[in-house]
Amino acid sequence: MLDYKGIIIKHYGGGLSGRALAEQGFGSKSGINDFLSAFEACERLSFPLPEGITNYGIAELVYGANEAGRTASRDTSFEYPDYAAVHTAMANRKNMTMIFQWNQYKCVCEETEKKYYSYRRFCANYETWCRENEETMHFQAVAAQKMEVDFAGQTFTLVDGQTGEVCTVVVFVAVLPYSQYIYAEGMLSTREPQWIAVNNHALRYFGGVPALVVCDNCKQAVLANQDWIEPVLNKDYAEWAEHNHTVIMPAKVRKPRMKSSVENAVGILESGIFHTLAARQYFSLEQFNQDLWTELEKLNHAPFRKKPHDRYSCWMEEKEELLPLPAVEYEFMERRMAKVSPDFHVRFDNAYYSVDKAYVHQQVIVAATERVVRISSRQGNLLAEWPRAEYKGQWFTDLSHLPANFKDMAEWNSGFFIRKAMTVGPHTTEVIQRILKCRKLEVQTYRMCQGVLNFSNKYSREALEKSCESALNSGKVTYTTIKNTIAAVAGELGKNGYNPHLNDERNKGAFVMGSEASDIDTLLSRSETLAGARKEGGK
């Protein structure tokens, strides 16, 4: 379709001829002149053009509906929506959605007993209409309506001050299209926890929540977006949006104009601030972000080139229209299934958390934020809530979770481990007895005892006994000491250092051939027999 609006304005307003318009790329000379002749003959339209008219509207008035292509390519038994009105509402009305527009269209059709398009077809036709009318991706910015987010293409490097490792810094960028107020933050990781965190920081920086969040199709936000109408969102990002009472609206795949404000913001940063940052050497992410935010404040307070105001003053106006921030920020939640061990604890992230004795050996759900670990039954009942461990191997035990006589009644208890250690030897028994006393609560040592005794599955009891004797002599009676020494002890003992029954279970039921089966004469005889059988079969 020709740019009818542009041709009319350039011809009647600028005095350009058909030849001059063709040279500027508006189409062929004959096609432009034919349209101008048809326009002059049209009684329903004249220059200056009515406000808001589109190329499609001009074509329909000049050539008629069929010639404009409206009815030639669709089933006329369906009521065709007024997409010009739909587009105006989507561009100018705050919080407007396509589903609302479709419901209005459906109600009107039902009242007039006319056939109406399904929601999917309604959206697909609107996309086609937008593509044909060049108004496609131009959305009038509305205060507090949207926040657009994306990653900048340019990355930075920093050298870890402690390890000397060279790390890559990716920059997250967010912008409010109405005020063009920009937020940016460097990230060393772009995984879901960090993605949620920087989105939280952007809302805090903007001082409120917009009605929509327009994002790219990165895996942290969108799992699938084949037709734009029903995108599949990342579960954590969808929960983040629900927590903040906003809606995620991914841009179409490979359609950057749908998030033109953040694309423009990235361009501004890359052509200005990023040159300043790239010239500096950084040894921590905090140092990088402080410099980035300092430069960003200057940018947001700098006046626009062609406007008398700046981003900050526009944001102060827009801030009043944003939804309030939630009382508590959304926290990324790690979720895992775990089994309650005989010591009444669940292991998560190399730390141990107790649950009630009734759930021993059962599967439970662990949901953890950066600060809290919540353990629930598979039915969703909260069993325990603990602060998240600050270091590996940390234990959290509530005595009410343990049986009153757990030392005698539990499946794992001191007597159980001592009896097993006595079958190995006196040094192993003494090691187990010392380990049982090394923690404030005996139940917290059961896993270490089990770990020490489990070495007898691979190594011989003699190797385990000698390793325990060595640990006692060195004064370092720990599971880690035995783990680090038992392999060397077993190696010194040779065959006697390993459990001779290690492969019994693996080989159970296997057919063991005698040595004569691999004898060369036996193999040759078998080959001759097979060859003779094939010849007879061939006859």
pLDDT band at 453 (very low <50, low <70, confident <90, very high): very high
Closest to 355 measured CA to CA, from 405, 400, 393: 400
Tokens standing for 243? 């927590």
pLDDT computed for residue 230 by the predictor? 67
Residue where the block lists tokens 């234990």: 395
Sequence-distant (≥ 6) Cβ neighbours of residue 140 within 8 angstroms:
91, 92
Average pLDDT over residues 375-398: 86
Would strands 212-215 and 181-187 be described as parallel, antiparallel, or unpaired? unpaired
Q: Answer whether residue 6 shows pLDDT above 70.
A: yes
Task: Say which DSSP state 303 is in.
Answer: B
Task: Kindly list the distances between the CA atom of residue 527 and the CA atoms of 139, 535, 537, 539, in Å, as whole numbers in the listed order.
Answer: 81, 13, 16, 19
Q: Answer whether residue 160 shows pLDDT above 50.
A: yes
Packed helices 446-454 and 479-493: angle between N→C axes, nearest 10 degrees: 10
pLDDT computed for residue 277 by the predictor? 92
Inter-residue contact 471 to 481 (CB < 8 Å): yes
Task: Kindly list the distances between the CA atom of residue 427 and the CA atoms of 343, 451, 456, in Å, as whole numbers in the listed order.
Answer: 24, 16, 14
Residues of the chain with pLDDT > 70, as a percent, come to: 85
347-378 pLDDT, tens per residue? 988 888 999 888 988 999 998 887 889 999 98
For residue 376, the cross-strand partners are: 365, 382
pLDDT computed for residue 404 by the predictor? 66
pLDDT computed for residue 71 by the predictor? 37
pLDDT computed for residue 8 by the predictor? 84
Q: How far apart are CA 464 and CA 452, in angstroms?
A: 8
396-431 pLDDT, tens per residue? 888 788 776 655 445 677 888 888 899 999 999 999
pLDDT computed for residue 289 by the predictor? 94
Q: Answer whether residue 505 shows pLDDT above 80.
A: no
Inter-residue contact 292 to 185 (CB < 8 Å): yes
Cβ neighbourhood burial of 230 (10 Å; 0-12, 13-18, 19+): exposed
Inter-residue contact 366 to 338 (CB < 8 Å): yes
Q: How far apart are CA 14 and CA 160, in angstroms?
A: 61
Tokens standing for 163? 């390890």
Nearest 5°: phi and psi at 159?
Answer: -105, 120
Sequence-distant (≥ 6) Cβ neighbours of residue 241 within 8 angstroms:
213, 233, 247, 248
Inter-residue contact 58 to 107 (CB < 8 Å): no
SS3 419: helix
pLDDT band at 471 (very low <50, low <70, confident <90, very high): very high
pLDDT band at 503 (very low <50, low <70, confident <90, very high): low
Q: How far apart are CA 286 and CA 247, in angstroms?
A: 31
Instruction: Give the strands of the sheet with 351-354, arranged side by side.
Output: 345-348, 351-354, 395-396
Average pLDDT over residues 467-484: 90
Residues of the chain with pLDDT > 90, as a percent, come to: 25
Strands (E), 3-145: none
Inter-residue contact 352 to 346 (CB < 8 Å): yes
pLDDT band at 138 (very low <50, low <70, confident <90, very high): very low
Would strands 156-159 and 382-387 be described as parallel, antiparallel, or unpaired? unpaired
Round the CA-based radius of gyration of the chain to a whole number and report it: 37
pLDDT computed for residue 450 by the predictor? 87
Q: How far apart are CA 55 and CA 39, in angstroms?
A: 13
Q: Which domains occur in the chain, in start order?
A: 4-133 (no CATH), 146-319 (3.30.420.10), 334-404 (no CATH), 412-539 (no CATH)
Residue where the block lists tokens 């090691």: 431
SS3 353: strand
pLDDT band at 539 (very low <50, low <70, confident <90, very high): low
Sign of dihedral through CA atoms 460, 466, 469, 475?
A: negative
DSSP string, 1-33: ---HHHHHIIIIIT---HHHHHHTTSS-HHHHH
Average pLDDT over residues 332-350: 86
Where is pLDDT greater, at 37 or 289?
289
Average pLDDT over residues 476-494: 90
Cite the DSSP H helix spans in 94-234: 98-111, 119-133, 192-206
Mean pLDDT, the chain, as a whole number?
82
Q: How far apart are CA 515 and CA 518, in angstroms?
A: 6
Q: How far apart are CA 125 and CA 104, in angstroms?
A: 16
48-97 pLDDT, tens per residue? 777 767 777 787 787 765 444 443 345 567 888 888 888 878 776 756 78
Tokens standing for 221? 């936000």
Q: How far apart are CA 108 and CA 81, in angstroms?
A: 10
pLDDT computed for residue 538 by the predictor? 57
Inter-residue contact 137 to 255 (CB < 8 Å): yes
Q: Answer whether residue 184 shows pLDDT above 80.
A: yes
187-198 pLDDT, tens per residue? 988 888 888 999
Nearest 5°: phi and psi at 519?
Answer: -65, 140
Q: How far apart are CA 329 and CA 196, in angstroms?
A: 10
Tokens standing for 260? 């033109």
Q: How far apart are CA 221 and CA 217, in angstroms?
A: 7
Closest to 185 measured CA to CA, from 202, 172, 169, 170: 172
Q: How far apart are CA 255 and CA 130, in angstroms?
A: 13
For residue 323, the cross-strand partners are: 209
pLDDT band at 206 (very low <50, low <70, confident <90, very high): very high
Q: Answer whether residue 506 shows pLDDT above 80.
A: no
Which of 106-115, 170-179, 254-263, 334-343 is least confident? 254-263
Q: How far apart are CA 535 and CA 520, in angstroms?
A: 23
pLDDT band at 511 (very low <50, low <70, confident <90, very high): low
Q: How far apart are CA 405 and CA 98, in angstroms?
A: 64
- Tell me the pTM: 0.48
Q: Answer whether residue 485 shows pLDDT above 50.
A: yes
pLDDT band at 514 (very low <50, low <70, confident <90, very high): low
Q: Answer whether residue 227 shows pLDDT above 70.
A: no
